[in-house]
A = this chain, B = another copy of it.
Protein backbone atom coordinates (compact mmCIF):
# COMPACT_ATOMS: atom_id res chain seq x y z
CA UNK A 1 0.00 0.00 0.00
CA UNK A 2 2.37 2.67 1.23
CA UNK A 3 5.19 2.25 -1.24
CA UNK A 4 8.42 3.80 -0.05
CA UNK A 5 9.46 6.68 -2.23
CA UNK A 6 12.88 7.06 -3.73
CA UNK A 7 15.12 9.23 -1.61
CA UNK A 8 15.60 11.63 -4.53
CA UNK A 9 11.86 12.04 -4.89
CA UNK A 10 11.41 12.73 -1.20
CA UNK A 11 14.21 15.26 -1.28
CA UNK A 12 12.95 17.05 -4.39
CA UNK A 13 9.37 17.28 -3.16
CA UNK A 14 10.48 18.45 0.26
CA UNK A 15 12.58 21.19 -1.34
CA UNK A 16 9.71 22.31 -3.53
CA UNK A 17 7.33 22.27 -0.60
CA UNK A 18 9.65 24.32 1.59
CA UNK A 19 10.21 26.76 -1.23
CA UNK A 20 6.50 27.15 -1.85
CA UNK A 21 5.81 27.71 1.84
CA UNK A 22 8.40 30.46 1.87
CA UNK A 23 7.13 32.14 -1.29
CA UNK A 24 3.57 32.02 0.03
CA UNK A 25 4.64 34.10 2.99
CA UNK A 26 5.62 36.87 0.60
CA UNK A 27 3.09 36.79 -2.18
CA UNK A 28 -0.12 35.35 -3.50
CA UNK A 29 -0.08 31.96 -5.18
CA UNK A 30 -1.22 33.64 -8.34
CA UNK A 31 2.04 35.57 -8.52
CA UNK A 32 4.21 32.55 -7.92
CA UNK A 33 5.51 31.04 -11.14
CA UNK A 34 6.98 27.60 -11.63
CA UNK A 35 10.16 29.22 -12.86
CA UNK A 36 10.42 31.35 -9.76
CA UNK A 37 9.91 28.38 -7.46
CA UNK A 38 12.45 26.10 -9.10
CA UNK A 39 14.98 28.92 -9.27
CA UNK A 40 14.50 29.56 -5.56
CA UNK A 41 15.20 25.96 -4.57
CA UNK A 42 17.70 25.31 -7.38
CA UNK A 43 15.85 22.54 -9.15
CA UNK A 44 15.44 22.09 -12.85
CA UNK A 45 12.14 23.24 -14.25
CA UNK A 46 11.64 19.95 -16.04
CA UNK A 47 11.90 18.18 -12.72
CA UNK A 48 8.98 20.14 -11.36
CA UNK A 49 6.80 18.88 -14.18
CA UNK A 50 7.81 15.31 -13.40
CA UNK A 51 5.99 15.72 -10.09
CA UNK A 52 3.26 18.30 -10.59
CA UNK A 53 1.45 19.78 -13.54
CA UNK A 54 1.41 23.30 -12.13
CA UNK A 55 1.65 25.25 -8.90
CA UNK A 56 -2.00 24.83 -8.10
CA UNK A 57 -2.01 21.10 -8.61
CA UNK A 58 1.03 21.01 -6.36
CA UNK A 59 -0.89 22.83 -3.65
CA UNK A 60 -3.83 20.48 -4.06
CA UNK A 61 -1.50 17.55 -3.73
CA UNK A 62 0.08 18.86 -0.54
CA UNK A 63 -3.31 19.66 0.93
CA UNK A 64 -4.57 16.20 0.09
CA UNK A 65 -1.59 14.67 1.91
CA UNK A 66 -2.26 16.75 4.99
CA UNK A 67 -5.94 15.95 4.96
CA UNK A 68 -5.18 12.26 4.53
CA UNK A 69 -2.86 12.40 7.51
CA UNK A 70 -5.57 14.02 9.59
CA UNK A 71 -8.19 11.54 8.47
CA UNK A 72 -5.84 8.74 9.42
CA UNK A 73 -5.49 10.24 12.87
CA UNK A 74 -9.23 9.94 13.24
CA UNK A 75 -9.00 6.21 12.65
CA UNK A 76 -6.28 5.66 15.22
CA UNK A 77 -7.36 8.00 17.97
CA UNK A 78 -10.60 7.78 19.94
CA UNK A 79 -12.93 10.70 19.45
CA UNK A 80 -14.99 10.61 22.59
CA UNK A 81 -13.47 9.34 25.79
CA UNK A 82 -16.25 9.72 28.31
CA UNK A 83 -13.91 10.44 31.18
CA UNK A 84 -11.87 13.23 29.62
CA UNK A 85 -12.42 16.87 28.75
CA UNK A 86 -10.68 16.47 25.43
CA UNK A 87 -10.28 13.90 22.70
CA UNK A 88 -6.94 12.34 21.75
CA UNK A 89 -7.81 13.05 18.14
CA UNK A 90 -7.93 16.79 18.66
CA UNK A 91 -4.59 16.64 20.40
CA UNK A 92 -3.15 14.58 17.54
CA UNK A 93 -4.62 17.12 15.18
CA UNK A 94 -2.54 19.86 16.77
CA UNK A 95 0.52 17.62 16.68
CA UNK A 96 0.12 17.19 12.94
CA UNK A 97 -0.22 20.92 12.51
CA UNK A 98 2.95 21.43 14.49
CA UNK A 99 4.87 18.87 12.44
CA UNK A 100 3.81 20.65 9.24
CA UNK A 101 3.91 24.12 10.65
CA UNK A 102 5.67 25.85 7.76
CA UNK A 103 3.21 24.80 5.08
CA UNK A 104 0.21 25.07 7.43
CA UNK A 105 1.18 28.60 8.37
CA UNK A 106 1.31 29.38 4.66
CA UNK A 107 -1.99 27.69 3.86
CA UNK A 108 -3.79 29.45 6.70
CA UNK A 109 -2.02 32.80 6.28
CA UNK A 110 -2.98 35.92 4.30
CA UNK A 111 -1.92 34.30 1.03
CA UNK A 112 -3.39 30.98 1.99
CA UNK A 113 -6.01 28.80 0.39
CA UNK A 114 -9.58 29.10 1.53
CA UNK A 115 -10.41 25.73 0.00
CA UNK A 116 -8.00 24.18 2.47
CA UNK A 117 -9.57 26.14 5.31
CA UNK A 118 -12.99 24.96 4.21
CA UNK A 119 -11.80 21.34 4.17
CA UNK A 120 -10.29 21.68 7.62
CA UNK A 121 -13.52 23.17 8.88
CA UNK A 122 -15.43 20.28 7.40
CA UNK A 123 -13.24 17.75 9.16
CA UNK A 124 -13.67 19.55 12.47
CA UNK A 125 -17.40 19.84 11.91
CA UNK A 126 -17.85 16.16 11.27
CA UNK A 127 -15.49 14.82 13.89
CA UNK A 128 -15.39 17.26 16.75
CA UNK A 129 -18.44 19.48 16.85
CA UNK A 130 -21.27 16.98 16.57
CA UNK A 131 -19.62 14.42 18.80
CA UNK A 132 -18.39 16.92 21.28
CA UNK A 133 -21.36 19.12 21.73
CA UNK A 134 -24.88 17.95 22.24
CA UNK A 135 -27.08 20.41 20.43
CA UNK A 136 -30.74 20.58 21.21
CA UNK A 137 -32.94 20.81 18.16
CA UNK A 138 -34.75 23.94 19.22
CA UNK A 139 -33.69 27.16 17.53
CA UNK A 140 -32.16 25.11 14.78
CA UNK A 141 -31.44 28.16 12.76
CA UNK A 142 -29.52 30.27 15.22
CA UNK A 143 -27.76 27.16 16.41
CA UNK A 144 -26.49 26.64 12.89
CA UNK A 145 -24.97 30.09 13.19
CA UNK A 146 -23.48 29.23 16.56
CA UNK A 147 -21.92 26.13 15.03
CA UNK A 148 -20.46 28.13 12.18
CA UNK A 149 -19.14 30.59 14.74
CA UNK A 150 -17.35 27.81 16.62
CA UNK A 151 -16.10 26.21 13.46
CA UNK A 152 -14.40 29.31 12.14
CA UNK A 153 -13.39 30.10 15.69
CA UNK A 154 -11.35 26.90 15.83
CA UNK A 155 -9.53 27.91 12.68
CA UNK A 156 -8.73 31.25 14.26
CA UNK A 157 -7.41 29.45 17.29
CA UNK A 158 -5.13 27.35 15.10
CA UNK A 159 -3.90 30.33 13.13
CA UNK A 160 -3.03 32.23 16.28
CA UNK A 161 -1.19 29.25 17.67
CA UNK A 162 0.80 28.66 14.47
CA UNK A 163 1.77 32.30 14.21
CA UNK A 164 2.92 32.48 17.79
CA UNK A 165 5.80 30.72 19.43
CA UNK A 166 3.90 27.42 19.69
CA UNK A 167 4.78 27.39 23.36
CA UNK A 168 1.41 25.95 24.29
CA UNK A 169 1.39 22.19 24.03
CA UNK A 170 -0.97 20.38 21.67
CA UNK A 171 -2.65 18.99 24.76
CA UNK A 172 -3.28 22.44 26.17
CA UNK A 173 -4.66 23.59 22.82
CA UNK A 174 -6.97 20.59 22.67
CA UNK A 175 -8.36 21.50 26.08
CA UNK A 176 -8.75 25.11 25.04
CA UNK A 177 -10.63 24.05 21.94
CA UNK A 178 -12.97 21.91 24.00
CA UNK A 179 -13.57 24.67 26.50
CA UNK A 180 -14.35 27.32 23.91
CA UNK A 181 -16.66 25.11 21.88
CA UNK A 182 -18.70 23.79 24.78
CA UNK A 183 -18.99 27.13 26.53
CA UNK A 184 -19.97 29.03 23.43
CA UNK A 185 -22.50 26.53 22.23
CA UNK A 186 -24.01 25.40 25.51
CA UNK A 187 -24.37 28.87 26.89
CA UNK A 188 -25.93 29.97 23.69
CA UNK A 189 -28.40 27.14 23.63
CA UNK A 190 -29.40 27.74 27.24
CA UNK A 191 -29.95 31.42 26.64
CA UNK A 192 -31.88 30.75 23.44
CA UNK A 193 -34.12 28.33 25.33
CA UNK A 194 -34.85 30.97 27.95
CA UNK A 195 -35.62 33.63 25.39
CA UNK A 196 -38.06 31.49 23.46
CA UNK A 197 -40.06 30.53 26.51
Instruction: State the oligomeric state as a number of copies.
Output: 2
Q: A109 — which chain B residues lie within 8 A by C-beta?
A: 114
A interface, over-half SS: helix
User: Is B110 within 8 A of A112, CB to CB?
Assistant: no
Q: Contact check: which of B28, B56, B183 meets A184 at CB < 8 Å? A: B183
A109 to B113, CA, bound (A): 10
Report which of B56, B141, B142, B149 forms a contact with A153, defined as CB distance below 8 A.
B149
Q: Is A29 on the interface with B (CB-CB < 8 A)? A: yes
**Chain B residues within an 8 Å CB radius of A161:** 145
The 6 closest A-B pairs by CB, nearest first: A152-B156, A153-B153, A149-B153, A148-B160, A30-B30, A148-B156
Q: Which residues of chain A have a CB within 8 Å of any CB of chain B?
A: 28-31, 55-56, 108-115, 117-118, 121, 141-142, 144-146, 148-157, 159-161, 168, 176, 179-180, 183-184, 187-188, 191
